[in-house]
Amino acid sequence: MKYEVDLTQMCPATFAFHVISGKWNLPILALLSGGEPVRYNELKRKLSGITGTTLTNCLKDLIDYGIIHREQYHEVPPRVEYSLTPAGKELVPLIEDIVAWGARNMHVSG
C-alpha cells in the first residue's frame, strides 16, 4: 500500500524535499538533467539495481509533482521519452547547490 501524502498540507520546504527524497528520484533527475529526452529502457539500464516497477512508480510520482514530462509517440514499436519540465529544470541548480554544500560539509559530521 502506497503512503499517501496530502501535499496541500505541507510547507513549501517540506514539499520540495519530499519531491527529491527517495532512493531513486535524485538519480533519475540527474539522468534527465542533460537536457535531452531519455527513453524508459535507457533509464532502467543506467540505474543499476532499480526494478521496472520501482522505476515506473518513481516516474509517475515525478510526473505528478510536475517535475518530469512523459511523451508517448504513436509508433510501432511504441516509443516513450521522459524529460524535465520547466519546474524540473529550475530544480537542477538547486540540487547542484545542495550537492556542493554536502561536499563542503560532510567532513564536519562525526
Which DSSP state fits 9?
Answer: G
Q: How would you label 62-90 residue by residue, b for 16+ Cβ within 10 Å and e otherwise?
A: beebebbbeeeeeeeeeeebbbbbeebee
Q: What is the pLDDT of residue 57?
A: 95
pLDDT tens-digit map of 1-45: 445 666 667 788 888 888 888 889 999 999 999 989 999 999 999
Q: What is the pLDDT of residue 56?
A: 96
Does the pTM exceed 0.95?
Answer: no
Q: C-alpha angle 59/60/61, rounded to 5°?
A: 90
Rounded CA-CA distance 91/106 in Å is 22
Beta bridge partners of 84: 68
pLDDT tens-digit map of 86-109: 999 999 999 899 889 999 998 876
Q: What is the pLDDT of residue 5?
A: 61
DSSP secondary structure, 29-94, as one string: HHHHTTSS-EEHHHHHHHSTT--HHHHHHHHHHHHHTTSEEEEEE--SS-EEEEEE-HHHHHHHHH
Task: Report the chain's C-alpha Rg in angstroms.
Answer: 15
Thinking of the domain 7-105, which architecture would CATH place it in?
A: Orthogonal Bundle (1.10)
Q: Could you tell me the residue ranges of all domains in the chain?
A: 7-105
